[in-house]
Structure 1
């Protein structure tokens, strides 16, 4: 007896092939040069199928990013906020130096001329992870490891602004090895350190 094909399994296989093709093509050619038709060809899917699942290339790229990231950049909680942020920001930085960084930059560029893309980017990528970070920072505040008078949303912006500034403008390389020094600057501040007492 020939088994009946499972359409859900077939659809999931096609979905994953489409997401993988999206990342691969955008990383190789650049976001602006990749079309839905090219993605469909690479994935072995029809253009109609892709448009049935995703209304635009940006929507497809956003799901590809989320699918690729998964839980890879969740926020650890060892009880030491410096250690945990070093781990998490290093993972984010490492991720953005690869294909996902190219896809992410493309979606951000698309969002500048299409407010709906910007809203989707914030809703699906930025806000969920911002809330996770705020929760971890709030725990550090409660433990007395961080100042209680700085809103956690502001802390998030301070901690990640350098990563995205370098990603978008290329002012310096994204290097996970620089995360500890950067966090030391953030936590210490920009004021001169008091002179050390002579032993």
Structure 2
């Protein structure tokens, strides 16, 4: 059912996505869908959380922090182009118009992903020659790390290029090393 919701969103867009369409694509009765989810937003939130848990996970590696950040930012950029990234973009857009969706998105997926991003960034920076960063600093650095990508994709409607990835990674590592306690 989650995959059916993903596929239909990509094919038809958020406005045309219906519970009936999801049920038909999944080959189940509409009542089955309603037993688990009350709306298409709830289904999309679940599919986003499931897909992002793996796709946006921080990967351990032996490279230096800047290379590790570049690798992670490329994964985030790739995610935006995948069906799961399109689900995220649709939900973020809908959240601008619907407070219940915004609250659910913030309390669930966005909070969980933020926690993973802060922990992942801290672990990556601890591998470098610098002093590492505390949780508060990492929280601020996550904004600086991911903000440019979200802006490029969500506001400008453009793909993330290699120059943005490289520049962002370099600046975040520099700030982490030179300005503890941002």
**Pair in the same fold by TM > 0.5:** yes
Does residue 1:82 correspond to 2:66, yes or no?
Answer: yes
What are the superposed Cα offsets for residues 28-62 of structure 1, whole Å, 9 maximum, x if unpaired?
Answer: 11111211111111111121111110111111001
Q: Which residue of 2 aligns with 1:36?
A: 19
SS in 1 for 2:55: coil
Q: Assess, with a 3 A threshold, how the Cα gap between structure 1 residues 26 and 171 changes in structure 2: closer, same or farther.
A: closer
Aligned with 1:181 (options 157, 167, 172): 167
In the TM superposition, 1:147-162 aligns within 5 A as 148=133, 151-162=137-148
Q: Which residue of 2 aligns with 1:193?
A: none
Aligned with 1:59 (options 37, 42, 53): 42
Instruction: Say which is worse superposed, 171-180 or 51-60, in terms of deviation.
Output: 171-180
In the TM superposition, 1:1-199 aligns within 5 A as 18-78=1-61, 80-139=64-123, 140=125, 144-145=129-130, 148=133, 151-175=137-161, 178-188=164-174
Indicate if the aligned counterparts of 2:145 and 2:169 stay in contact, CA closer than 8 A: yes
Q: Assess, with a 3 A threshold, how the Cα gap between structure 1 residues 48 and 177 changes in structure 2: closer, same or farther.
A: farther
Cα RMSD after superposing both structures: 2.5
Indicate if the aligned counterparts of 1:86 and 1:183 stay in contact, CA closer than 8 A: yes
Please list every run of 5 or more consecutive structure 2 residues that lacks an aligned counterpart in the other structure: 176-182
SS in 1 for 2:28: coil
Q: Which has the larger radius of gyration?
A: 1
* Distance apart, 1:26 and its partner CA: 0.6
Residues in 2 aligned to 1:106 and 1:59: alpha-carbon distance in whole angstroms:
13
Q: TM-score, normalised by structure 1?
A: 0.74
Work out the number of aligned pairs and report it. 172
Residues in 1 aligned to 2:36 and 2:82: alpha-carbon distance in whole angstroms:
26
Please list every run of 5 or more consecutive structure 1 residues that lacks an aligned counterpart in the other structure: 1-17, 190-199
Indicate if the aligned counterparts of 1:31 and 1:102 stay in contact, CA closer than 8 A: no
* Distance apart, 1:133 and its partner CA: 2.0
SS in 2 for 1:33: coil
SS in 2 for 1:62: helix
